[in-house]
Structure 1
Amino acid sequence: MFLKGSRYENASLFYPDEDGEVVFDGVRAREIGKATGVIEHIIREGDRLDLLARHYYNNDRHWWRIIDANPEIMFATDLLLDDWLGQTILIPKIRE
């Protein structure tokens, strides 16, 4: 269903209930492990998750790695980090 190496590759599907009806046709949330090898970054004005990902990973599409390391940042609506000014977030190392 997902490409090999996708972060959703091992996520399980929703299964039918007792009546055999699938309540939700989709994939369950994937497990997120602890972030290792992190850098602490203090949010400054103008910081965005995609820009931080470009700076730290040289790939702006890896913003989700930062979200994984910071469970209090939950949705892409937090892509703009204005509400987090002065807060410290974790930037995880990319697992090899």
Structure 2
Amino acid sequence: MLLKNSRYKEARRFEADDSGQVRCKGTRPREIGPAIGVVEHVIQEGDRLDLLAHHYYSDARLWWRILDANPDLLSGVEISLAERAGEVILIPKAKE
């Protein structure tokens, strides 16, 4: 069950196969559109996505919005800003 304001509320569920079984009970990956209305941020030593979200959105829980706009920040299973000081990332506009 998803919360009514979940970012996955529009994502499709996995469907049953020919035998009628649902092999994966969950939600398919959600669509991520292009970031519109962005601010460029130069990564500083010590930056973290949650701290940037708190700074730009006043809500550290919105870190995923920054990651959505910068998918290249994913390195395997890690999200790392430590070695990216000086690089520019996009901060999407806060939703109105």
TM-score of the two chains, using structure 1 as the length reference: 0.88
| Residue of structure 2 in register with 1:56 after alignment | 56
The Cα shift of 1:72 comes to 1.1
| Residue of structure 1 in register with 2:38 after alignment | 38
Identity of aligned residues (%): 55
Mapped contact 2:73–2:81 kept (Cα < 8 A): no
Structure number having the greater helix percentage? 1
| Structure 1: gaps of 5 or more residues | none
- Post-superposition CA distance 1:52-72 (Å, at most 9, x none): 001111111110000111121
The Cα shift of 1:40 comes to 0.4
Query: Aligned equivalents of 2:74 and 2:2: distance in 1?
Result: 22
| Structure 2: gaps of 5 or more residues | none
SS at match of 1:67: helix
Aligned length: 95
Runs of 4+ in 1 over 4 A off after TM superposition: none
Structure number having the greater strand percentage? 2
TM-score of the two chains, using structure 2 as the length reference: 0.88
